C-alpha cells in the first residue's frame, strides 16, 4: 500500500511538533524515520495512525485522501502502529489480546481466532502459546503478539516506534527478518528510530526529521556522516576520552547476593575506585535496581559483603 503524507502540520501550544512534512512510502518499502529525541517522529506517526489529528495537511492511501479520527479508523484503512511499549493487557492471555479490536464479541469464535493466530505465528516463525499470559512474555515476544494482531486486523502498513529499545540482540534479528518478510509481501513498513546502526542494517530508504521538519531523504546504501549531518545540522565528532587517574577503592562487593522475593541478582564481585564511572547494562528487570538499592543501603543483602571506604 502506498502512503502519502502531504503538508502535515501539528502544534502543541507553543511547540511546533511537525512543520509542513510531505513524505511518501511505497508498498514493499521499509522506510526509516530518523531523528534525535524531540524531532517530531512519534508525533508524525501518531497522526498517520489516527492517535492524534493534524492541524492541517492530508493523508493519502493508494492515492485516495482519507481522514482518521481514531486508531480504529486507521486500522480499518490498513494502517497499524506498534508502539515502543506495546498496547496490550498483561493480565489477559495472548489469544484474548489477539481478539481485542476485531469486534465487540469478545470470547466468540475463539477456535477460529486461535487457528488464525497459530497460522500467523507459523508464517513468521514466532513461538507464542495462545493460552499463555502476556505478563509472562518478554518485550520482544509482546512485539510479536502485536504484529500478528495488527496483521489479523488488516494492517497493510506497519509503523514501529523505536522497536529495538529494550529487546535482546536475538530478538532484534528476528524482528528485522519479520519486517523484511512483510516488505517482500508488498506491505509498507515505517521504522522509527534514532539509532543509525538499525536503519543502516534494515531500511531501503531513510527520511530525517529535525526540529519538526523533514530535512532530507536518502536511499541505501547510507553514509553515516551524511545522516548525522542531517540529524544535527552539523558534523559531530566523538571527542577523545580524557585519561583520569583512579584513586583508592570506594565501593567493594564480594559475592553479593540480593533479592526482593520476585528475583535474585548475584553473586557479584565488583570494585569501584575513586574517579571511575561504571555503567550497568542489561534489559529492564535484569537486577540493576536491586544492585543500586543494596549499594544505597535500601535493601539488605541476602549473602556476601559490601564495603564503603573500607567499612562493611
Domain contains 275 = yes
Q: What is the mean pLDDT of residues 199-215?
A: 95
Which pTM does this prediction carry?
A: 0.79
pLDDT at 259: 82
Q: How is residue 2 written as a grid cell?
A: 502506498
- Locus of grid cell 500467523: 120
Is the predicted pLDDT of residue 280 greater than 90, yes or no? no
DSSP 110-144: HHHHHHHHHHHHHHHT----TTSBGGGS-HHHHHH
Domain contains 237 = no
Q: What is the mean pLDDT of residues 185-194?
A: 94
Angle at Cα 250 formed by Cα 249 and Cα 252, nearest 5°?
A: 80
pLDDT at 301: 84
Range name among 59-68, 174-183, 235-244, 268-277 with the lowest pLDDT average: 235-244
Question: 50 and 108 share a domain?
Answer: yes
Domain contains 238 = no
Q: Please give the residue range of the domain that contains residue 257.
A: 249-308
Domain contains 243 = no
Is the predicted pLDDT of residue 100 greater than 90, yes or no? no
Question: 159 and 211 share a domain?
Answer: yes
Domain contains 125 = yes
Q: Are 74 and 149 in contact (CB under 8 A)?
A: no
CA distance 192 to 207: 10
Question: 220 and 283 share a domain?
Answer: no
**Number of domains the chain is built from:** 2
Q: How is residue 3 written as a grid cell?
A: 502512503
* Helix count and strand count (H, E) for the chain: 9, 13
Question: 165 and 211 share a domain?
Answer: yes
Domain contains 282 = yes
Is the predicted pLDDT of residue 22 greater than 70, yes or no? yes
Range name among 42-46, 89-93, 110-114 with the lowest pLDDT average: 110-114
Range name among 59-68, 175-184, 303-312 with the lowest pLDDT average: 303-312
Phi-psi region at 310: left, alpha or beta (left = phi > 0; alpha = psi -120 to 50):
left
- How would residue 210 be classed by pLDDT, with cut points 50, 70 and 90? very high
pLDDT at 285: 66
Of 198, 232, 266, the residue at which a domain comes to its end is 232
DSSP 256-301: EEEE-SS-EEEEEEEEEETT--------TTSSHHHHHHHHTTSS--
Domain contains 244 = no
Question: 228 and 253 share a domain?
Answer: no
Question: 11 and 50 share a domain?
Answer: yes
Is the predicted pLDDT of residue 229 greater than 70, yes or no? yes
Scored b (16 or more CB within 10 A) or e, 210-228 reads bebebeeebeeebeeeebb
Q: What is the CATH number of the domain that holds 84?
A: 3.40.50.300
pLDDT at 241: 78
pLDDT at 291: 83
Amino acid at each position: 500500500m502506498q502512503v502519502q503524507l502531504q503538508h502535515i502540520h501539528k502544534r502543541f501550544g507553543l511547540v511546533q511538533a511537525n512543520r509542513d512534512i510531505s513524505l511518501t512510502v511505497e508498498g514493499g518499502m521499509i522506510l526509516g524515520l530518523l531523528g534525535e529525541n524531540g524531532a517530531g517522529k512519534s508525533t508524525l506517526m501518531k497522526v498517520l495512525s489516527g492517535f492524534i489529528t493534524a492541524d492541517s495537511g492530508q493523508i493519502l492511501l493508494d492515492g485516495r485522501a482519507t481522514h482518521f479520527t481514531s486508531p480504529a479508523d486507521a486500522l480499518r484503512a490498513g494502517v497499524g502502529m506498534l508502539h515502543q511499549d506495546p498496547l496490550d493487557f498483561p493480565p489477559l492471555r495472548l489469544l484474548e489480546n489477539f481478539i481485542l479490536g476485531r469486534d465487540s464479541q469478545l470470547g466468540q469464535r475463539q477456535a477460529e481466532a486461535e487457528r488464525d493466530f497459530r497460522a500467523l505465528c507459523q508464517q513468521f516463525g514466532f513461538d507464542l502459546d495462545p493460552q499463555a499470559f502476556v505478563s509472562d512474555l518478554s518485550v520482544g515476544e509482546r512485539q510479536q503478539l502485536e504484529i500478528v494482531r495488527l496483521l489479523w486486523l488488516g494492517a497493510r502498513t506497519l509503523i514501529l516506534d523505536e522497536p529495538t529499545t529494550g529487546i535482546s540482540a536475538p530478538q532484534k534479528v528476528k524482528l528485522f527478518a519479520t519486517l523484511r518478510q512483510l516488505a517482500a509481501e508488498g506491505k509498507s513498513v515505517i521504522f522509527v528510530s534514532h539509532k543509525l546502526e538499525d536503519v543502516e542494517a534494515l531500511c531501503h530508504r531513510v527520511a530525517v526529521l529535525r526540529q519538526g521538519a523533514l530535512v532530507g531523504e536518502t536511499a541505501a546504501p547510507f553514509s553515516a556522516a551524511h545522516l548525522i549531518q542531517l540529524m544535527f545540522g552539523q558534523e559531530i565528532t566523538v571527542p577523545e576520552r580524557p585519561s583520569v587517574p583512579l584513586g583508592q577503592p570506594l565501593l567493594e562487593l564480594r559475592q553479593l547476593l540480593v533479592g526482593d522475593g520476585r528475583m535474585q541478582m548475584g553473586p557479584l564481585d565488583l570494585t569501584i575506585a575513586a574517579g571511575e564511572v561504571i555503567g550497568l547494562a542489561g534489559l529492564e528487570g535484569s537486577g540493576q535496581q536491586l544492585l543500586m538499592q543494596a549499594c544505597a543501603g535500601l535493601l539488605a543483602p541476602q549473602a556476601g559483603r559490601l564495603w564503603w571506604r573500607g567499612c562493611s
